[in-house]
Amino acid sequence: MDAAPAVEWILACRPGFEGEAAAEGRLALAAHGVPVTEPRIAPGLVRFAFDGPIDRGRLPDPHRLIFARTAWPAFARLSTLDPRDRLTPLLAALDAVAATVGDVWVETADGEEGTALAGFARSFEAATLAALKRARRRDPSSQVLLRVLAASGADLALALDDRGALPPGRGGIPRLRLPRDAPSRSALKIEEAWLTLLSASERVRALAPGMTAVDLGAAPGGWSWQLARRGLAVTAIDNGPLAASALATGRIRHVRADGFRFRPPRPVDWLVCDMVEQPARVARLVADWLARGDAHAALVNLKLPMKKRWEETVGCLVALGDAIDALLPPSVAAAAARPDAPVAGTRFALRARQLYHDREEITVLALPLGRRTRSGPAPGGRPGPTSTAISRRRAPRRSSP
């Protein structure tokens, strides 16, 4: 794909979290040696304009940011467009960087302003595709995706992406449907976490029938239900009741207990945790499970109701990372001046994301790096789960959407 230089790097985030996305984007750009400018903020958008074109290869990987859902490395910005003809300037700007494109997405920010533009985005996407076809500039076999961010009807930013490395949906928002028998909307949160925090091959290896999981703060059971649908045997910890559809899976054992006290008799493959509690306390709990080998991997939601959400995120992830010898997400590593590649002894990768289905919270994955031996104890604690549980399981029969 033609790697058109970027004149602007635009991040999409949850409305209200522009400050966190800006702080993170600034750090990520600085860590990549890109001169940092003060971003312009609009609801759901953080826009870093560059003084001159920047080589795309110098921009941070948006998939590894926490508060950005997607990024547009814009090669052109078309502002004050005449609403009677937006296509001529768009095609002229495209001329300079690509002969043909495979597809077009017209995207908007999340929130009220983006919703108000949804109708325009749909019709402009169809019009752009038709114009490209007429000009013989659409080649369905091409991997090049033209992404048009419509900040308003008169302000467009254009970026090119590889169709093979698409964000999960327009605006970085995956279109997931809640099955009718899902116990809660939280079921979508864990599904989105698997989609965005694990690669396709990691999903196959890490979520296989026959594995085991403990779900702390499980009621009414959306996360447990999703794990059970993938064939895992789940111990669901909550003093509250589980939905009938969760219990009907036959793979969930409900234990009424305090999630901060419960420990499994044998190590499990997964610890998942969605308890509404102080994030630092939850991070310490998860660190303790992983460090002692009570769980092999963890997926945890950290609630962020406080004002200094970026600082809290960095503090929690650094403390968790230090406790389990983990590689931090790059922006957190930059904030804490820590290594951004595994060093000797690194046992886990920490990945984190404010998902579309997250509100004032982020979801954090701790995934073991490399393999452990069947007999070898987990460093610093009890033996790990039987054998190299996550890396050696058979591929699951996919039962979920």
Ligand X SMILES: C[S@@+](CC[C@H](N)C(=O)[O-])C[C@H]1O[C@@H](n2cnc3c(N)ncnc32)[C@H](O)[C@@H]1O
Distance in angstroms (rounded) separating the CA atoms of residues 91 and 168: 26
307 catalytic per annotation: no
Strand, helix or coil at 373?
coil
18 binds ligand X (CB under 6 A): no
Which of 222, 267, 330, 396 is in the footprint of ligand X by CB under 6 A? 222
Which of 70, 108, 128, 186 is in the footprint of ligand X by CB under 6 A? 186
279 binds ligand X (CB under 6 A): no
Spatial CA neighbour of 177 closest among 198, 193, 162, 192: 192
Spell out the alpha helix ranges (H) of 143-275.
Answer: 186-197, 200-206, 222-229, 244-247
Q: How far is the CB of 239 from ligand X (least distance, A)?
A: 6
Long-range contacts of 378-384 (CB under 8 A, 24+ apart): 378/292, 378/293, 379/325, 379/345, 379/347, 380/291, 380/292, 381/291, 381/292, 381/293, 382/267, 382/292, 382/293, 382/294, 383/267, 383/293, 384/267, 384/293, 384/296
Element (H, E) at 362: strand 361-368
**Which of these ranges, 59-67, 157-165, 204-212, 234-242, lies near ligand X under the rule CB under 6 A?**
234-242
Q: How far is the CB of 225 from ligand X (least distance, A)?
A: 7
Which of 274, 294, 358, 361 is in the footprint of ligand X by CB under 6 A? 274
Q: How far is the CB of 201 from ligand X (least distance, A)?
A: 26
Which of 10, 275, 286, 291 is in the footprint of ligand X by CB under 6 A? 275
133, 303, 307, 308: the active-site residue: 303
Spatial CA neighbour of 358 closest among 10, 11, 17: 17
Q: How far is the CB of 292 from ligand X (least distance, A)?
A: 19
Q: How far is the CB of 183 from ligand X (least distance, A)?
A: 6
Report how many residues bind ligand X under the rule CB under 6 A. 22
Backbone dihedral region of 353: left (phi > 0), alpha (psi from -120 to 50 degrees) or beta?
Answer: beta
363 binds ligand X (CB under 6 A): no
92 binds ligand X (CB under 6 A): no
Burial 211-228 (b: 16+ CB within 10 A, else e): bbbbbbbbbbbbbbbbbb
**Which of these ranges, 14-22, 191-199, 220-228, 372-380, lies near ligand X under the rule CB under 6 A?**
220-228
276 binds ligand X (CB under 6 A): yes
Instruction: Please give the residue ranges that form the binding site for ligand X (CB under 6 A).
Output: 183-184, 186-187, 217-223, 237-240, 258-260, 274-277
- Where in the sequence numbering do the catalytic residues fall? 303
